[in-house]
């Protein structure tokens, strides 16, 4: 800064002390307008939501830079955007950018469209809405799960203007869960009555930290949040770090004392063996277990639970006749038994020990059990409720500085697990609470007939079994109309009947704030100041919804006469009433970025541990439920798919496409897609510069590669019964033998039935998990061969 100021003074004195910046001067000389800088933000769902500075000239974005204001020590940190956010200019200007409303011409899914006027688009969509409402009722409308504009206030994908419009029009079928956390969120509700987690900043007080599939450096990349806080806490504490992950993830690099590779989907087996050692060597925190939990031992089981159904009985083998020794676990997890024994001692004897899991562990067909097992480990050592300890959940942020969204009240209560949306298209009316986890009703009244997909690629690319999705969506007699709202062409909007071009966050005013769980102890709020006019005919979704509301006869109810800016002011000022720390609307909008003082980092369950009687958990017993009575009830009443089970304690389950599935004879390699620094899911794939610098590689261990004659750079095919993907091999010991991985989110592209776009969801099963009906997308079995 100092240097900049000195340079500026030197320049201005050279030009006779004029109060112009060098940039303004050269603009004047070249007779162009001066550069203008506006704040905007990166709205994609890596959760972090970084501010960006947009520099324009004559209404054109010239370059994008990042927060560089203020000091930059940890407590005053600049919220610097990653390379994806800094590439936002290309998000506005790229060959795939949508600039006009499009209408399908060929068959659905063929990807042929013609430009139409907004008038025609609104008229036709409104008329189809009326028709569908009349024929099938409001339960047939659906807004798909989508995350491309989460964190914004008006321009929200799933709970913004579309939700308000449809609510006022009579309602729509809701969805619950997320693709991010379906299994862990449901599992932790049974276990803790929520997902309590310490702030990652408290890691600075830990002596040992065990991370299960937690990749902060790659999945929380912005400078304002968790990735940086993780790095900083490790620097300060010097604590020992162990990452347990099938692959050597980016958070291991430069930070980690040990990487323990584990076979995917087997964490619950490892935990059972750790428990075995701790029981045998008397290393458990029995006082903690007896005071705060139920069901670890027989003496704390609920009175109506069967004998020998405690976790300890499972571990010692009185439950099922198998002792969960390190040798037993070693065969499943592929971790040497000696290391398991040592690890148990190390974890039990080094306190405080910070236990955390990311969300990769739970995105498996047995994900609920894996995540409950890791939380059980945190209980076994009693490192909960103390600074430097954690609950086994993914770390969170300390305080939410929220801004209200647009109000809406959906008169329909029926809700499906978001991952079952394709099922609800072809067999909605068969779906029930006990067979499909439907909520708000016992059975659905209607199949999905009309879809709005805003800012999402979950219609196909991010869903599973792409060929099956293709079959369902292509059939125009099933879902009769699909309206897709995006800023770019995507694999999903290939299936749309109408594609509507949205304005980006650089082209409209809105708030963006980081998601809870992403910014650690330093909240901030961004106000996007509208850097340029929307390109082409793109327009914000609020304006689209007003036009539809007009045609549906609900304009006044929908808009209440307010513009987007009026709503932003109203919602912000309502939020100010609850949070006196928020500056005035005028200050917020003129500053563009407001960073708040650091808050005290949260230590999860501190109150409950201090006083469990007066601060009970939201579980039925008020305690931590290692044995869940609710799951015991579901075990008796729910109708499950073949091979599935619900067990009240967190046993290791061999389920669909897991390490013990007999299908492994045919498809011997485990496979999954991890979240990648080169994209946020499928977002940014459309930008060639980003694709070029972040290649789509398929990692395979040298042992497996050699057995198949594969070398780095070879084109290989990964196949199972659901599909074939093709891509480039990277032979690396950074992945455990017996497993291969590729970044999730690449755009599927089918050529002669083969996905040459290397999208992992061409191979992932559409079968939901037993308890949450979530996406066990990381459980895939395959064979790999050189092309």
Q: Which stretch binds ligand MGD (CB under 6 A): 111-119, 166-174, 245-253, 311-319?
A: 245-253
Closest distance between ligand SF4 and the C-beta of residue 691, in Å? 15
Q: Which is nearer to ligand MGD, 459 or 705 (CB)?
A: 459
Tokens of 138: 């409001």
Give residues 219-238 in contact with ligand SF4 (rule: CB under 6 A): 221-222
**692 CB contacts (<8 Å, ≥6 apart)?**
none
Q: Which of 418, 764, 770, 781 binds ligand MGD (CB under 6 A)?
A: 764
How far apart, in whole angstroms, are the C-alpha atoms of residue 294 and residue 273? 20
Q: Which is nearer to ligand SF4, 678 or 776 (CB)?
A: 678
Binding mask of the shown chain, residues 378 to 407, with x at each position contacting Mo ion by CB under 5 A: ------------------------------
How far apart, in whole angstroms, are the C-alpha atoms of residue 754 and residue 715? 13
Closest distance between Mo ion and the C-beta of residue 145, in Å? 10
Number of residues that bind ligand MGD (CB under 6 A): 64
Give residues 137-176 in contact with ligand MGD (rule: CB under 6 A): 146-149
Q: Which of 209, 487, 740, 748 binds ligand MGD (CB under 6 A)?
A: 487
Q: Which is nearer to ligand MGD, 175 or 486 (CB)?
A: 486
Interior angle at CA 673, CA 668 and CA 677, nearest 5 = 145
Residue 9 CB neighbours (<10 A): 11
Site membership for Mo ion, residue 149 (CB under 5 A): no
Site membership for ligand MGD, residue 661 (CB under 6 A): no
Residue 537 CB neighbours (<10 A): 14
Give residues 442-481 in contact with ligand MGD (rule: CB under 6 A): 454-458, 462
State the binding partner of 601 from Mo ion, ligand SF4, ligand MGD, none, CB within 5 to 8 A by kind: none
**269 CB contacts (<8 Å, ≥6 apart)?**
324, 328, 329, 332, 333, 652
Site membership for Mo ion, residue 180 (CB under 5 A): yes
> For residue 574, which phi and psi values (nearest 5 degrees)?
-65, -40
Closest distance between ligand MGD and the C-beta of residue 780, in Å? 8
How far apart, in whole angstroms, are the C-alpha atoms of residue 643 and residue 632? 18
Helices 337-349 and 267-280, axial angle in degrees (round to 10): 70
Closest distance between Mo ion and the C-beta of residue 180, in Å? 3
Site membership for ligand MGD, residue 221 (CB under 6 A): yes
Tokens 């991370």, residue located: 211
* CA 673 to mean position of chain CA atoms: 13
Site membership for ligand SF4, residue 46 (CB under 6 A): yes
Closest distance between ligand SF4 and the C-beta of residue 696, in Å? 18
Tokens of 187: 């599992």
The residues facing 354 across adjacent strands are 209
Q: Which stretch binds ligand MGD (CB under 6 A): 38-46, 64-72, 188-196, 384-392?
A: 38-46
Site membership for Mo ion, residue 775 (CB under 5 A): no
**615 CB contacts (<8 Å, ≥6 apart)?**
607, 608
Q: Which stretch binds ligand SF4 (CB under 6 A): 82-90, 120-128, 501-509, 555-563?
A: 82-90
For 659-716, the three-class secondary structure string (H helix, E strand, C coil) is CCCHHHHCCCEEEEEECCCCCECCECCCCHHHHHHCCCEEEECHHHHHHCCCCCCCEE
Q: Which is nearer to ligand MGD, 109 or 385 (CB)?
A: 109
Site membership for ligand MGD, residue 765 (CB under 6 A): no
Site membership for ligand MGD, residue 619 (CB under 6 A): no
How far apart, in whole angstroms, are the C-alpha atoms of residue 699 and residue 81? 28
Task: Let me know: does 213 contact 357? Beta carbons within 8 Å.
Answer: yes
* CA 511 to mean position of chain CA atoms: 20
Task: Let me know: does 783 contact 720? Beta carbons within 8 Å.
Answer: yes
Site membership for Mo ion, residue 628 (CB under 5 A): no
Q: Which of 38, 39, 40, 49 binds ligand SF4 (CB under 6 A)?
A: 49
Q: Which stretch binds ligand SF4 (CB under 6 A): 46-54, 177-185, 204-212, 749-757?
A: 46-54
Q: Which stretch binds ligand MGD (CB under 6 A): 56-64, 100-108, 308-316, 353-361?
A: 353-361
Q: Which is nearer to Mo ion, 371 or 726 (CB)?
A: 371
Site membership for ligand MGD, residue 698 (CB under 6 A): no
Site membership for ligand SF4, residue 48 (CB under 6 A): yes
- Please report which residue ranges of 204-284 form alpha helices under DSSP H: 216-219, 226-237, 267-280
Closest distance between ligand MGD and the C-beta of residue 270, in Å? 8
Closest distance between ligand MGD and the C-beta of residue 430, in Å? 25
Q: Which is nearer to ligand MGD, 46 or 301 (CB)?
A: 46
Closest distance between ligand MGD and the C-beta of residue 462, in Å? 3
State the binding partner of 505 from ligand SF4, Mo ion, ligand MGD, none, CB within 5 to 8 A by kind: ligand MGD
Q: Which stretch binds Mo ion (CB under 5 A): 178-186, 367-375, 428-436, 642-650?
A: 178-186
Give residues 428-467 in contact with ligand SF4 (rule: CB under 6 A): none
Site membership for ligand SF4, residue 410 (CB under 6 A): no
Transcribe 706-743 into DSSP letters. HHTT--TT-EEEEEETTEEEEEEEEE-TTB-TTEEEEE
How far apart, in whole angstroms, are the C-alpha atoms of residue 164 and residue 53? 31
Q: Which stretch binds ligand MGD (CB under 6 A): 191-199, 273-281, 483-491, 557-565?
A: 483-491
The residues facing 727 across adjacent strands are 716
Q: Which is nearer to ligand MGD, 82 or 632 (CB)?
A: 82
Antiparallel, parallel or unpaired: β 754-755 and 750-751: antiparallel
How far apart, in whole angstroms, are the C-alpha atoms of residue 474 and residue 109? 6
State the binding partner of 67 from Mo ion, ligand MGD, ligand SF4, none, CB within 5 to 8 A by kind: none
Q: Which is nearer to ligand MGD, 397 or 761 (CB)?
A: 761
For 85-119, the three-class secondary structure string (H helix, E strand, C coil) is HHCHHHHHCCCCECCCCEEECCCCCCCCEEECCHH
**449 CB contacts (<8 Å, ≥6 apart)?**
132, 135, 136, 140, 141, 479, 480, 481
Tokens 């999705």, residue located: 469
Residues that bind ligand SF4 (CB under 6 A): 42, 44, 46, 48-50, 81-82, 84-85, 221-222, 680
Residues that bind ligand MGD (CB under 6 A): 43-47, 146-149, 179-180, 212-213, 215, 218-219, 221, 244-247, 249, 262, 264-265, 267, 358-361, 363-364, 454-458, 462, 485-488, 490, 502, 504-505, 672-677, 679-683, 744-745, 760-761, 764, 777-778
């Amino acid at each position: 800064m100092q240097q900049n100021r000195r340079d500026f003074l030197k320049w201005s004195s050279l030009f006779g002390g004029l109060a112009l910046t060098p940039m303004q001067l050269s603009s004047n000389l070249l007779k162009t307008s001066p550069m203008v800088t506006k704040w905007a933000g990166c709205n994609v769902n890596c959760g972090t939501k970084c501010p960006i500075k947009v520099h324009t000239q004559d209404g054109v974005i010239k370059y994008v830079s990042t927060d560089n204001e203020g000091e930059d020590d940890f407590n005053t940190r600049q919220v610097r955007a990653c390379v994806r956010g800094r590439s936002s200019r290309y998000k506005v200007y790229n060959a795939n950018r949508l600039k006009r409303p499009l209408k399908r011409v060929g068959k659905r899914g063929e990807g042929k469209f013609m430009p139409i006027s907004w008038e025609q688009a609104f008229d036709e969509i409104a008329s189809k809405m009326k028709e569908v409402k009349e024929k099938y009722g409001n339960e047939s409308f659906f807004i798909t799960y989508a995350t491309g504009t989460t964190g914004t206030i008006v321009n929200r994908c799933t709970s913004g203007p579309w939700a308000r419009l449809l609510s006022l029009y009579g309602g729509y079928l809701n969805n619950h869960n997320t693709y991010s956390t379906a299994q862990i969120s449901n599992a932790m509700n049974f276990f803790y009555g929520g997902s309590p987690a310490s702030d990652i900043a408290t890691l600075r007080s830990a002596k040992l930290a065990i991370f299960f599939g937690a990749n902060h450096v790659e999945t929380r990349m912005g400078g304002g949040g968790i990735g940086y806080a993780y790095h900083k806490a490790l620097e300060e504490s010097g604590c020992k770090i162990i990452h347990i992950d099938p692959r050597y993830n980016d958070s291991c690099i430069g930070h980690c004392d040990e990487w323990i590779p584990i076979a995917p989907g087997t964490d619950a087996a490892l935990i059972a063996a750790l428990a075995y050692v701790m029981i045998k060597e008397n290393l458990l925190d029995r006082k903690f277990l007896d005071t705060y939990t139920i069901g670890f031992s027989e003496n704390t089981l609920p009175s109506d639970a069967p004998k020998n159904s405690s976790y300890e009985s499972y571990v010692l083998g009185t439950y099922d006749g198998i002792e969960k020794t390190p040798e037993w676990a070693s065969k499943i997890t592929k971790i040497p038994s000696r290391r398991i024994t040592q690890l148990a001692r190390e974890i039990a004897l080094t306190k405080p020990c910070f236990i955390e899991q990311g969300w990769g562990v739970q995105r498996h067909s047995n994900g609920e059990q894996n995540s409950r097992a890791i939380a059980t480990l945190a209980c076994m050592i009693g490192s909960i409720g103390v600074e430097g300890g954690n609950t086994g959940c993914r770390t969170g942020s300390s305080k939410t500085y929220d801004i209200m969204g647009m109000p809406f009240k959906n008169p329909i209560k029926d809700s499906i697990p978001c991952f079952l949306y394709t099922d609800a298209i072809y067999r909605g009316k068969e779906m029930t609470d006990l067979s499909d986890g439907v909520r708000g009703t016992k059975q659905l009244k209607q199949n999905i007939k009309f879809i709005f997909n805003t800012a999402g690629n979950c219609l196909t690319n991010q869903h599973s079994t792409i060929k099956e999705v293709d079959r369902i969506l292509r059939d125009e007699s099933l879902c009769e109309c699909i309206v897709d709202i995006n800023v770019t062409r995507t694999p999903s909007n290939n299936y749309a009947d109408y594609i509507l071009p949205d304005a980006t966050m650089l082209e409209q005013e809105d708030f963006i704030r980081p998601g809870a769980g992403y910014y650690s102890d330093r909240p901030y709020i961004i106000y996007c100041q509208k850097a340029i006019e929307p390109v082409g005919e793109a327009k914000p979704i609020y304006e689209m919804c007003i036009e539809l509301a007009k045609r549906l006869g609900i304009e006044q109810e929908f808009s209440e006469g307010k513009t987007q800016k009026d709503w932003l002011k109203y919602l912000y000022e309502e939020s100010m009433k609850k949070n006196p720390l928020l500056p005035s609307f005028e200050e917020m909008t003129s500053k563009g970025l407001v960073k708040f003082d650091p808050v005290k980092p949260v230590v999860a369950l501190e109150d409950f541990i201090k006083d469990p009687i007066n601060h009970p958990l939201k579980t039925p017993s008020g305690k931590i439920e290692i044995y869940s009575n609710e799951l015991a009830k579901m075990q008796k009443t729910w109708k499950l798919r073949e091979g599935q089970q619900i067990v009240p304690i967190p046993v290791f389950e061999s389920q669909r496409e897991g390490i013990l599935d007999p299908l492994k004879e045919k498809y011997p390699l485990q496979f999954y897609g991890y979240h990648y620094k080169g994209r946020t899911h499928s977002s940014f794939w459309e930008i060639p510069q980003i694709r070029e610098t972040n290649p789509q590689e398929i990692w395979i261990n040298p042992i497996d590669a050699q057995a198949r004659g594969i070398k780095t750079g070879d084109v290989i095919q990964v196949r199972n019964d659901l599909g074939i993907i093709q891509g480039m091999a990277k032979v690396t010991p950074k992945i455990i033998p017996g497993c291969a991985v590729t970044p999730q989110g690449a755009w599927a592209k089918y050529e002669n039935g083969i996905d040459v776009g290397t999208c992992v969801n061409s191979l992932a099963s559409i079968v939901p998990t037993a308890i949450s009906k979530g996406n066990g997308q990381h459980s895939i079995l395959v064979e790999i061969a050189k092309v």
